[in-house]
Amino acid sequence: MDDNKILADLIFPNITKTIEDLEKEYPKRNLPEGAMVTRFAPSPTGFLHSGSLYTTLLNWRLAKQSGGIFYIRLEDTDQKREVEGSGKELLDQLKNFGIEPDEGYLGDHEEGNYGPYIQSKRSEIYDVVIKHLIEIGRAYPCFCTAEDVEDTRRKQERNKFRPGYYGRFATCRKVSIEEAIERIKNGESYVLRFKSMGNEENKISVVDEIKGKLELTENDLDIVIRKSDGLPTYHLAHACDDHFMHTTHVIRGEEWLPSLPIHVELFNTLGFELPKYAHVASVNKIDQENGTKRKLSKRKDKEAAVSYFLEQGYPKSGFLEYLLTLINSNYEAWRDVNPDADKYDFTVTFEKMGVDGPLFDVLKIDNICKDRLSRLNKNQISELALAWANEYDTEFASLINRDYEYFTKIMNIEREIEKPRKDYTRFSDIKNSIMFFYDDLYEDMLKNTPVLPFNENISKEDTILVLKTFLERNKMDEGESEWFNNLKEIGSSLGFATNNKEYKANKEAYKGHIGDVAQILRIALTTKTQTPNLFNILEILGKDKYEYRINNMINIISK
Ligand code: GLU
C-alpha cells in the first residue's frame, strides 16, 4: 500500500466515505439560473453585532431577490470562545428583525438537506476531506508545539524573514512518513497541515464582487487544517462547507480577504469550483476622543450591539432601512421617489456598495426612524409601541393597556395626513410625551412642576382671564379651523393680536398674540410648552376633563 494511504488510514481508521460519496449526498441545488445561495455563518461568541446584521441583511436580500437560498451555519469550532446560548440568541434577534433563513441552524433545530449546519457536528465531512488530502500527499501531521512555532517566528523576525510556517521553515514537512507513523503510534500530539505548492513570487488574480479584480500573492503557507482537538480550522471548514452546501456567493467581512489565497489553493487542490467572493468593508465610526475613523468596536461602542437599538426602542424597520442606506449608495434616492414602498422592493446590488467602510451615524438613524414612525398608521404604531413596552418598559405597557382605544387616539394625533408629525424617534420617547393625557400622571406632573412655564410677560390676571374666557366661549363642534378662529376672537377681545406679524408691528398695543393664548391653554392642560396639536388634545381629553383641568389651574394661579 502507498505510504500516504497507510498514514491516512492510521489517522482516520473509521473514515470510509470518500469525497465522491459526499458529492452524491449533497448534490447540486436545483435552482433557477441566477439564484444566489448565501449564508450567515456566525460564531456563537456573543451578541449580534450591528456590523453582522448589516452583512446578514445584504446576504439575505441578495438571496431573496434572486429566488435563491439564504441559510445559517453555526461556526462553533473555537470551543474556547463559545458563549453558552449565544447561537440561539443570534437567531432570535435575526428573527426579531424579520430575517428568516430558508434553511440551516435555526436556533433550536436545523432544517434543510445540506446539514448538519453546526460545524461541531460535521467532523465526519471534514475528516473525509482531510483524509483525501493526506492520501494525495497534500496534508501531513505536524508535531511542532506552540513554543516551537513561536521560536521559529522569533528567528524569522530576527533574520528579517517573513513570518509563518512555509517552505524551509515548515519543519514537519521534512519528517518522513515512516517517522510520522512511528510518532503517532507513540501517542505524540499533532495537528494536520495543508501542504502548499504555492510560491510567494507568484500572483493570483481573483475577482471580488465588491472590490473588483484583485492581484494577490499566491499562498505558500502550510496552514493548520485540523487542530489537535480534532476540529477543523476556519479555512478547511470554509472550503468543505461552502462547497457541499453549494454557496454561490461567499459574502463576508473583509478581514478574511488576506486569507483568500489560502482558500483559492484549497478549493483548487480539492477540485472544488470556487464560489464567488464579496468582501464587505467594516462599518466604522468617528472616535469621540481623537476624531479618527475606526472600526465599530464590540468593546467600546454601545451601538455595536444590535440589542442596544432594540432596548432603546428604535423601530426595527427604521434600523433596517438605515442599514440599507449603508449597503447601497442609491438607496436614499430610491426612497425619496418611493416614500411608501416596501423597503425590500429596492434591489440591492454589489455595484452600489462602497469599497471603503461606511460610517455608522446614529443621528441619521434617528432621522430615518423618526420619518418611518411618522408614516405608520395609528394601529401600527400602537401595536409596535405596546410590543416594545411589553418587553422593555412594563410600566408603559400597563399605561397603554389601561385603555388601548384611548392610547390609539393619542397616537393618531397628526398622523395619516400628508405631512405627519415627526415627534417620536424611538418607542421610548412616547411615554413621557403623552403622560399628561392620564389624569393621575397629569396630577403628578403638576406636583413636580413647582413653577409652571407661563410667559412672564403676561400678568397673572390676564392668564386667568384667558382661561376663564376660554371656558365660557370655547367652540369645538365645527372642526379645527373654526375652533381656531374662535380662539383668535377670544384672544382679540382680551387684547391679544390675532397673529404674530400684527403683534410685532405694534407690540405696545397688545398683551401678546394668539400664540400666547394657545400657550396658556397648553400649559394649563399639559404643564408643558411643547405638545402635539392643541385641538386634538382638547378633543381627546373631552369637555369634562379639560374643563376640570382649566378650573383647577385657575385656582392654582389665583393662590
Ligand atoms: N465564522 C466566521 C466569522 O465569524 C464566518 C466568516 C464567513 O462568513 O465566512 O467571521
Specify the ligand 1 atom closest to the Cα of 252: 8
Atom 3 of ligand 1 has which residue's CA nearest to it?
42
CA of 19 from ligand 1 middle (Å) equals: 24
Q: Which cell goes with 317?
A: 424597520
Residues of the chain with pLDDT under 70: none
What number of residues does the chain have?
A: 559
**What is the C-alpha to C-alpha distance for residues 70 and 249, in angstroms, rounded to an integer?**
10
3 state SS of 517? helix
Specify the ligand 1 atom closest to the Cα of 39: 8
CA of 325 from ligand 1 middle (Å) equals: 23
CA of 41 from ligand 1 middle (Å) equals: 5
Q: Which of 209, 173, 223, 424 is nearest to 313 (CA)?
A: 424
Atom 10 of ligand 1 has which residue's CA nearest to it?
42
CA of 43 from ligand 1 middle (Å) equals: 7
Atom 5 of ligand 1 has which residue's CA nearest to it?
41
CA of 424 from ligand 1 middle (Å) equals: 36
Q: Which cell goes with 280?
A: 464587505
- Residue 269: what pLDDT? 98
Atom 9 of ligand 1 has which residue's CA nearest to it?
252
Residue 41 CB less than 6 A away from ligand 1: yes
Residue type, 527: T
Pairing of β 139-142 and β 110-111: unpaired
Tell me how crowded residue 7 is: count the other CB atoms within 10 A of its CB: 22
H or E segment to which residue 141 belongs: strand 139-142
CA of 459 from ligand 1 middle (Å) equals: 69
- Residue 66: what pLDDT? 98
φ, ψ of residue 513 in degrees (nearest 5): -130, 180
CA of 255 from ligand 1 middle (Å) equals: 9
- Residues of the chain by 3-state class (helix, strand, coil), percent to 5: 50, 10, 35
CA atoms within 13 A on the CB side of 462: 21
Read out DSSP for 363-398? HHHHHHHHHHHHTS-HHHHHHHHHHHHHHH-HHHHH
CA atoms within 13 A on the CB side of 236: 30
398-401 long-range Cβ contacts below 8 angstroms, 24+ apart: 399/431, 399/438, 399/441
Which regions of 441-511 does DSSP assign to beta strands (E)? 496-497
pTM of the model: 0.90
CA angle, residues 342, 350, 94, in degrees to nearest 5: 50
CA of 233 from ligand 1 middle (Å) equals: 12
H or E segment to which residue 121 belongs: none
Residues whose CB falls within 8 Å of the CB of residue 164, separated by 6 or more in sequence, listed in order: 153, 156, 221
Q: Over the stretch 213-272, which tens digit does the pLDDT of each residue have?
A: 999 999 999 999 999 999 999 999 999 999 999 999 999 999 999 999 999 999 999 999
- Can you give the C-alpha Rg of the chain in angstroms? 33
Residue 43 CB less than 6 A away from ligand 1: yes
CA angle, residues 347, 352, 357, in degrees to nearest 5: 125
- Residue 430: what pLDDT? 97
Residue type, 352: K
Residue 252 CB less than 6 A away from ligand 1: yes
Q: Which of 265, 268, 256 is nearest to 198 (CA)?
A: 265
- Residue 85: what pLDDT? 86
φ, ψ of residue 471 in degrees (nearest 5): -60, -35
**What is the C-alpha to C-alpha distance for residues 489 and 510, in angstroms, rounded to an integer?**
14
Q: Which of 104, 92, 91, 26 is nearest to 63 (CA)?
A: 104
Residue 76 CB less than 6 A away from ligand 1: no
3-state SS record for 410-455: HHCCCCCCCCCCCCCCCHHHHHHHHHHHCHHHHHHHHHCCCCCCCC
CA of 42 from ligand 1 middle (Å) equals: 6
CA of 142 from ligand 1 middle (Å) equals: 26
Residue 75 CB less than 6 A away from ligand 1: yes
Atom 7 of ligand 1 has which residue's CA nearest to it?
252
Query: What domains appear along the chain, each with residue ranges and CATH number?
Result: 3-16+123-280 (3.40.50.620), 293-350+357-374 (1.10.1160), 378-430 (no CATH), 447-558 (1.10.10.350)
**What is the C-alpha to C-alpha distance for residues 475 and 486, in angstroms, rounded to an integer?**
7
**What is the C-alpha to C-alpha distance for residues 60 and 38, in angstroms, rounded to an integer?**
7
Q: Over the stretch 112-166, which tens digit does the pLDDT of each residue have?
A: 999 999 999 999 999 999 999 999 999 999 999 999 999 999 999 999 999 999 9
- Residue 82: what pLDDT? 84
CA of 516 from ligand 1 middle (Å) equals: 61
Specify the ligand 1 atom closest to the Cα of 55: 8
Cβ–Cβ < 8 Å for 179, 186:
no
Ligand 1, pocket-test mutation among 119, 234, 251, 254, most atoms within 8 A of CB: 234
Residue 42 CB less than 6 A away from ligand 1: yes
Residues whose CB falls within 8 Å of the CB of residue 487, separated by 6 or more in sequence, listed in order: 470, 474, 514, 517, 518
Cβ–Cβ < 8 Å for 192, 142:
yes
Which residues share a beta bridge with 302? none
Residue type, 368: I
